[in-house]
Amino acid sequence: MQRYSTTSIVLHWLIALLIIAAFAMGWYMSDLRISPTKLKLYSWHKWLGVSIFGLVALRLLVRLIKGAPAYPDTMQNWEKQLANAMHSILYLLMIAVPLSGYLYTYAAGFPVVYFGLIELPAIISPHPEWKEGLKELHEVLTTGMLVLVGLHFAAALKHHLINKDGILQRMLPARLTKE
């Protein structure tokens, strides 16, 4: 296997776009005064989080079934181990960030109603005393994910521009590669 499957590529880029949108929306809405616009943005932000959570679960399933291409032989063992650790932590954060937001929402006493249609089950009852801690956890995990996404992007560029080892092409749509 030289490239990721089309399904994996589509999920990777879709999840990346949704994470960027959710982060930008969260950053923007956090400083707004309470208003109908802020409440609408909070709903959209939650919808993005639920969507990301579901798509990441699907992506993990696809990865388990289809696997991933091997790293190039030119990579050192420590680089491969670091890349594997980085991917594992990113997957963990892509699950933990939406989950922490979900818990924060329910601790604050608000439901998560996906696309305004489906109320998701409350896995905790309202706990106002947990609200601030869960909000802080959500922010810390999000910041950690943002840092790791930045490192992931920088590593992909390094492999493409300096190493020229084809790592980036494995995750690009076929029409964007030179193959």
Each residue of 98-117: pLDDT tens digit? 999 999 999 999 999 999 99
Separation between Cα atoms, residue 93 and residue 9, nearest integer Å: 19
Q: How confident is the model at residue 177 (pLDDT cuts 50, 70, 90)?
A: low
**For position 105, what pLDDT does the model report?**
96
pLDDT, one tens digit per residue, over 40-70 is 999 999 999 999 999 999 999 999 999 999 9
In this prediction the pTM is 0.92
Separation between Cα atoms, residue 71 and residue 33, nearest integer Å: 48
Separation between Cα atoms, residue 93 and residue 176, nearest integer Å: 28
Separation between Cα atoms, residue 3 and residue 21, nearest integer Å: 27
**For position 1, what pLDDT does the model report?**
73
Separation between Cα atoms, residue 170 and residue 68, nearest integer Å: 9
